[in-house]
Every structure is written in C-alpha cells, then in structure tokens.
Structure 1
Amino acid sequence: MFPFLPVNCVCLAQLLALCGCVAFWQVSHLERSVSAELRRRRGETEEREEKEKGPTSKAKQQTSNESTMEEELGLIGASAEDTEAELIRRICDTELLAEENLLSAFLPLLVKVCSSPGRYSHPQLTTAACLALSQYMMINPSVCEENIRLMFTVLERSTLPVVRANAIIALGDLIVRFPNILEPWTQNLYARLSDEEPSVRQTAVTVLTQLVLKDVLKVKGQVSEVALLLIDPEPHITSLALNFFNELASKDNAIYNLLPDIISRLSDPERGMSSEDFNTIMKQLFSYITKERQTESLVEKLCQRFRTAKTERQWCDLAMSLSLLSMCERGFKRLQECWECYSDKLTEPGVYQPLLSITSKLRRGAKPQFKAQIDEFEKRLTAVHTRGLENVESPEMDEENKNGKPSSDATTRNRHPKRGQTKSSVSSHADDSFVTPQRSRKSKKPVITFSSDEGEDDEEAVMEELETPKVTTPIARSSRRARLRN
C-alpha cells in the first residue's frame, strides 16, 4: 500500500481546472460541432434522396406531393431536429460521466474540496475547484440538481470575492441551460447585489441585466435590489444600474408594474434607508413614467397603500412618491377621489408638505376652473393639517372660521323661530349654508268628525295617515224625510 504523500495545492488546482475545461468543451463540442455536422449530413441525405426518387407514376406523384406538403409545414425538419437534439442529450446524460469515463473520477474530489473550505483553504485550489464544479454541472440536469445547493452555499459563504464572482457567472449560465432547476434559487442570486465587495456587485448586476433583458429571468420585486445600486458609492456600478433601468424601460409597462413593490420594499423600516436616498432613487424611476394613464393608475395604487402602511416613515415615502409623479388633471381628480385613504395622516408634516407641493405644480398654467378646484383642495389640506380630520367636515370650514362661527344659542334660536315668525330665506343666510338643516315636522292631519245616528255627535275621531283602514266602511245616513218624521 502506498504511503500518504502531501499534494501540491497549485498542481491539484491546475488538474481540477483542466478537468473542468474538458467537461465544458465536451458539452460545447457536442452542441455546436456535432449538432451542426448532423444537420449537414441530414441535408445532404435529403437532397440525394430527392434526386434518386423520380415520380414515374401517379401514385409516386401523389406521395411526392404529400411529402412536399410536410416539408412546407416543417414537420419533417422538426422531427429530424428533435431526434438530433435527443441524441446529444442522451450522450450528455449517460456517456460523458459514465463510470468508465475519466471525467467521472474527479467529480467526488471536486465536491469534497468545495464542501470543505476549512480543510482546503488554498485560494487558488478553492477557486479552481468551484469553477470546475460549475462546469461539470453544465453536463446534465442530474449533476446540476445534486450540487446546486452546494454551489449557492459557496456563493454566500466563501470569503474570496473571486470565488463569489465566478459562482455568479456560472450560475447565470446554468439558469440559461436548466431554468426549471434554478428558478427557486433566483432570490439568492439577487442577494449578491448587496455584497460588500464592489467587484461582486458589479458582476451580479451585469449578469442579472443580461438575464432579465433576454427574458430568461422574470422581473419580480427583487429588482428593488438593483434600484439600490443607483446610489452605490462606486460610479461604474451606478452607471450599470442606470443602464439596467434604461433597457428595462423599453419593455412595455415593466417599470410601471414594478414601482409599487419597489416603493414598499425600499420604505421598509427594517432596511433603514434615509429619506434622501429614497428620494434619489424614486426620482430616477418615476422619470420613466410618461403616460397619463399610467400616472393616473399609480396615483390610485399609491393612495390605496396608505391603508396598509403602518409607520409614519412609510406614509411620508408614499406622499413623496405621489409628489414625484407628473400629475395632470385626471391624476389630480383621482387624488381627490382617494381622499379617505390619506386624509387621516395629513397631520404629519412629511405627508402634508409633499401633497401641498402637488397643488403648486398643478397651479402653473392651469385654467381658471381647474385652478379653483386646486385652491379648494389646498384649503382642505391645510384645514385638516392644522385642526385634524375630526374637526373638519367640509371645505367651507375655512370660510366659517374667517367670518366667525355663530354661537350655539343663536343657532338654536334660528332653528326654532317663535310662533308667527317667518323663516328667513336661504339667500339671506349664505354664511350658514354649511349647517345641517333640521328635519322638518309633518303638519297635522285635519280632524275628521263623524255624526252618528245614536246621538254621538260630540265624539271626534282623529285618523292619521298610518291609521287609515285599508277597507273603508260605508256610513249609513238617514234620509231627510225620515228625520222630519221623527
């Protein structure tokens, strides 16, 4: 038995790197060169068969017409291509990593080095092993699925930035090749956008930009992590994030659909983002909202989020987001319709001031009629901000306070005038138009007196409307001759 000999880490790293390169180029050779050669041979065979087959009879002519129709529909070509793709897939699944193949002998060693960073701590060895393992995972889905958890563990816990950056690039290639296996892990990939190392953040935003713009990854709420890079201290990373959103804005409604979730995530108290950074990010994102219909819909969505927001900071962020929209008359109308969503939060200066700035922007160049609506809304905002919502019932309260509120006794006397005193007209009391009118009393029904033949002439029967019987009873009256006879 051979004695245990120490292994040079650099030599072992070179060996593992060689194994990874061989595995990768084997797959590349199969999918590019071999697949292209199979298509070329198939084309030559089809041309030769067409020349050899000469339709000499009606039956052959009919068969030729049917095959030509199938070729036009692409049925023959599609079936042949599927057969070729299945052949390449079968070679990758069963032959490249077969037990008798030399590549399979190094796979357990790769897994051991990657899963034991404390024991194999040499930087060059760790880097080569992780990269080679990712290249092995490109061969077939079974190897990828068995080692995907290990690869993401390396991505999150490795102390070497170069290992984390290489893992991001490798995982980006694996997402393209095996999207169903990698789909549950995409959130871990977005998490590297907040890596402490600038080189890792740069690699992450570059890879994710390519995946999102090529529709390999679905754009979800994790894009808020990309938005954070708009305020990154590294200028080149900021420019990459800006390029990401510029490209994303070219897709229909992409940023519009993501904005509410981005605002909710960035305004989360646990994130601890400052108001200045939040405003900087939102200014850039709202600059992509140019359609009036999108603005109107965003006004309603943001107003509805006031109901679920729990902290004052979230209220202020929502109000600031509303003020950054290029609002027009339709958007302002929707803001008025959603008054109940935010009116109880106007006592906060961080909510009141941004909404007040909306009226200042809308007033510029507004028509007189629209300007009157803006002024009325501004008075309403100010009234609620200064006195609270419970003390303001209508926009006319400001006029009442300026002119002086009538005393409660005078109001009572006006509501209950003395007998014989006529009520004043509505026009003479324009200042009291906001007072809720008292419910008018119903006038008494006239007293109906019936004379009876039994001598009950003095009895009165008062019948109100609700007591009137449904079926009336006819009253028998004696004739005049009978009364004179008596």
Structure 2
Amino acid sequence: MVLQNLPFPRAIHVKGRIGWNQNCLLTRDSWLLSHQDASSEATMEEEMGLVGATADDTEAELIRGICELELLDGKQTLAAFVPLLLKVCNNPGLYSNPELCAAASLALGKFCMISATFCDSQLRLLFTMLEKSSLPIVRSNLMIATGDLAIRFPNLVDPWTPHLYARLRDPAQQVRKTAGLVMTHLILKDMVKVKGQVSEMAVLLIDPAPQIAALAKNFFNELSHKGNAIYNLLPDIISRLSAPEGGVEEEPFHTIMKQLLSYITKDKQTESLVEKLCQRFRTARTERQYRDLAYCVSQLPLTERGLRKMLDNFDCFGDKLSDESIFSAFLSVVGKLRRGAKPEGKAVIDEFEQKLRACHTRGLDAIEEFEMGQGGSQRAPSAKKLPAVSRHRHLVSAASDDDFVTPEPRRTTRRHPNTQQQVSKKKLRIVFSSDESSEEELSAEMMEDETPKKTTPIRRASAHRQRS
C-alpha cells in the first residue's frame, strides 16, 4: 500500500487500522479454532476429533505467537511505524496538531492490542496521555483504547484501574460521558474489580449534563441486581464522598445518598448498615462528617430491630446531638417509625425519643440521669423491703452480743487413754453469728485455756453460784 499521497495524520490512522484488522483476523481465527462444536458428530467422528482438537490448539497457539512476536517485529511493515508513533506521542509540544495527536494516540492503542509485551512497555505512556493531554478528543480516544486493553490484557491493566476511574471527573463533558460508558461496561461485565473508587461513578448522578446523570442512574440500577454489590460498597462510598479532601458538597452528597440508599430494602442489610454508620461517628473527624452520617441513617427504612441497634450504639452519637441538624435527622427517624409502629414497639420509640431530647438539651450526662431514674422506678418495690432486712440483721447482731457468754467448764471424766488422745486431737470449731445465717449457732464454745483474760462485759454470776 502506498501512503505517500495521504496526509500524515491519515497515514498514521490507516496503519493503526491495518494493525487492528490483522489482530482481529488472527484472534478471531484462533477463537474459532478453540471453540469448534463437535456435539452433533457421531461417536467415531468424536474420537477422531480429539486429534483434530489437539491440532487446533496447536494452531491457535501458533497464531497467538505470531501476534505476540512477529507483527511488531522489525521485519514487518507495522514495526516501521512504531518509532514514529512513539515520537509523536512523547512530544505533544512539538507535534501539537490536534488531528495528528488524536490519530497517533488511537493508533498506539491499537498497536498495544496486538502484543502483551508491547502493551506492557507502553502502558505508562498511554495513561500519562490519558491524564495529562490537553485535548479532550485524545483523552476520549485513549479511554476507549484502555477499556479494550482491560478486556484484552486484564492483568496488565488492573494496577492502572484508579486512572480509569479518575476520568469520570474529567472537566470535559465528552470525556466524562465516554468514561461513564466504558466503566459501566467493564464493571457490569466483571472485567474490573468494583472497589470504593466506584464513588466516582456516583458523582455522575449529579452531573450537570442530563445524559451523563441518566447514564449513572442506569448503571446503579443494573448494579443493584448483582446481589449485595451496592450494600458492600456503601460504607466506602460514604467515606469518600464526605471526606474533607476529594469529597463533594453537602447538598450534592444528600442527592447522591438518597438515590443509593433507596436500593437498600432488606431488613438485615438495613440493621447492619445502621450499626456500621453509628460506629463511624467515633472515627469521623469533622462536623460535616457527623451531619452526613446522620443524614444517611435518616434515609434508611428502619424497623424496630434497627431502632434497637441505634439504642445499643447510642453512646457513639449521643454527644453529637447538640447540633441541630444531627438532632433533626435522628428525630425524623422517630417520626417515620411512629407511622407504622405496633403498640408493643411504641415504648422503645418513646425511650429513644426521650434520650434524643435529653442529649440535645443537656448533653450526654443527661442519659445517665435518665437511666438512673428508670432504674430507680423499677427497683422501688424491692427497696421497701430493705429496711426490714436491715432491722433483722441489727437484731441478730444485738442478740449475738448478749448471747456471747463464756460457758461453764465441763466436768472431765475418766476415759480410756486412747479415747482421750482422740478427743484432744479433735479441735473445736468456733462459730460466730456473722459467719452463719442460722440463729441456732449464735453462741460459741471455747476451751477454758482459750478464754480471754480481759473481757468486757461477761456474765459470770451463774458460774460463781455453782462454785459456792
């Protein structure tokens, strides 16, 4: 093919197209050879087909080797254009013609589709142009090219995924739309790992261009059908969008989260998310983050079990209720719960509302007074019995003082020597009224040599009369 009569940008475009067509032809033949269907063949033909399948795999491997090593080799025509493409792409100041830059960047992307080795060596240049090129058409073309590379060589492009998400905030409307289409295709087809960076896709919900906002809404509608995908991503999305660095303003945040939280409909997901959001009040750093978390809680379809989760984690956000907007957000939760509350659940709602109002007016210390007041009212019937118990204990102690009288010495009788040794070895146990609750053991028995010499007062009148 003679290209000398074509303009320079057109010639580069044609060579890129030739390389792309050759790659598509070879890869299509390789795919057809590796996916031949022999299900309708007879048994004999299937056994013979095993040898043919092995030959087809060998041929497919040969085709992949041609794409990898020969098409961009120095002996081929396409290889002659590689230095020219790299020179144009590496020197945007020297080659500033928009058509030339667009054709060169697109041709480079097509050449990267041919060989994994060539792609790996030029990925840094591609993503640098994708981020820093001053021409929206170049960034848009490279967004499409890198999306194709993510399908062709996913392991090579995976480390560069954050740069793909970054184009969703491109200042050019054309680039944002292209990036939204590419990322929607890659995420929904599971070609790209869905991470917290999907928050960049959520920002498109408030895009000034209606087409882009509708595209983002359609993306999340489709993503909501993929199991618990949105539920798993919500905590990271909330953290990123409410972060002081790189987040969005408060009103746009409310618009985004109202849309995303509408996809949470399962009770278990709601209860778990409420608990996570309440605990995040402890790690939040700014007043704005407190308000954002409170707004998210107020948008969830809470049930009585979800309310109990909030009561269990009340200490996490109780000290933040002095802020009027946070208090109003939690108070709106009470209003929603009252509408469909059952009679047995109204007591829990009333308790939660009383705690909210107490913390709002008097701070978190009011909760301790509130709980003490509730505990005192519950213990009031049992408290009336305490004086009787104390009086009983007082009487017992008084009786023990009066009954502590030294017993009369016992008369010793002659016994067998062996029995006397056994009796002497056995020691008497001293029993006080303070150790045993039974009133039968109020007195104590002591040996004569163990009796205290100085005692006050001890009645010995009965013993004196017996001696006399």
Shift of residue 484 of structure 1?
7.2
Q: How many residues align?
A: 413
Shift of residue 369 of structure 1?
2.1
Shift of residue 33 of structure 1?
3.7
Question: Following the alignment from structure 1 to structure 2, what is the Cα–Cα distance between the partners of residues 394 and 294?
Answer: 34
Q: Cα–Cα, structure 1 residues 368 and 234, in superposed 2: closer, same or farther, change >3 Å?
A: same
Question: Following the alignment from structure 1 to structure 2, what is the Cα–Cα distance between the partners of residues 205 and 298?
Answer: 28
Match of 1:26 in 2: 22
Pairing 1:449–2:405 present: yes
Shift of residue 449 of structure 1?
3.2
Match of 2:417 in 1: none
Shift of residue 269 of structure 1?
1.6
Match of 2:267 in 1: 292
Q: Cα–Cα, structure 1 residues 464 and 377, in superposed 2: closer, same or farther, change >3 Å?
A: same
Answer yes or no: is the 8 Å Cα contact 2:33–2:57 preserved in 1. no
Q: How does 1:11-410 map to 2 (within 5 A)?
A: 11-33=7-29, 35-36=31-32, 50=44, 79=54, 82-271=57-246, 273-395=248-370
1:154-186 superposed Cα distances (whole Å, 9 cap, x missing partner): 001111111000000000000000000000000
Match of 1:4 in 2: none
Q: Cα–Cα, structure 1 residues 10 and 77, in superposed 2: closer, same or farther, change >3 Å?
A: closer
Match of 1:475 in 2: 447
Q: Cα–Cα, structure 1 residues 368 and 166, in superposed 2: closer, same or farther, change >3 Å?
A: same
Question: Following the alignment from structure 2 to structure 1, what is the Cα–Cα distance between the partners of residues 215 and 174?
Answer: 12
Identity within the alignment, %: 50
When normalised by structure 1's length, the TM-score is 0.76
Shift of residue 203 of structure 1?
0.2
Shift of residue 89 of structure 1?
1.3
Unaligned runs of 5+ in 2: 411-429, 437-443, 450-461
Q: Cα–Cα, structure 1 residues 34 and 297, in superposed 2: closer, same or farther, change >3 Å?
A: closer
Which amino acid counterpart does residue 12 of structure 2 have in structure 1? Answer: L
Answer yes or no: is the 8 Å Cα contact 1:138–1:174 preserved in 2. yes
Question: Following the alignment from structure 2 to structure 1, what is the Cα–Cα distance between the partners of residues 196 and 266?
Answer: 22
Unaligned runs of 5+ in 1: 1-6, 52-66, 401-424, 431-436, 455-460
Which amino acid counterpart does residue 155 of structure 2 have in structure 1? Answer: N
Answer yes or no: is the 8 Å Cα contact 1:35–1:88 preserved in 2. no
Answer yes or no: is the 8 Å Cα contact 1:306–1:315 preserved in 2. yes
Answer yes or no: is the 8 Å Cα contact 1:376–1:395 preserved in 2. no
Question: Following the alignment from structure 1 to structure 2, what is the Cα–Cα distance between the partners of residues 220 and 336?
Answer: 31
Q: Cα–Cα, structure 1 residues 286 and 485, in superposed 2: closer, same or farther, change >3 Å?
A: closer
Question: Following the alignment from structure 1 to structure 2, what is the Cα–Cα distance between the partners of residues 289 and 85?
Answer: 47
Shift of residue 307 of structure 1?
1.2
Give secondary structure in 1 for the equivalent of 2:96.
Answer: coil
When normalised by structure 2's length, the TM-score is 0.79
Answer yes or no: is the 8 Å Cα contact 1:346–1:381 preserved in 2. yes
Answer yes or no: is the 8 Å Cα contact 2:205–2:216 preserved in 1. yes
Which amino acid counterpart does residue 100 of structure 1 have in structure 2? Answer: K
Question: Following the alignment from structure 2 to structure 1, what is the Cα–Cα distance between the partners of residues 94 and 242?
Answer: 43
1:277-296 superposed Cα distances (whole Å, 9 cap, x missing partner): 11111111011111111111
Shift of residue 331 of structure 1?
1.1
Which amino acid counterpart does residue 170 of structure 1 have in structure 2? Answer: A
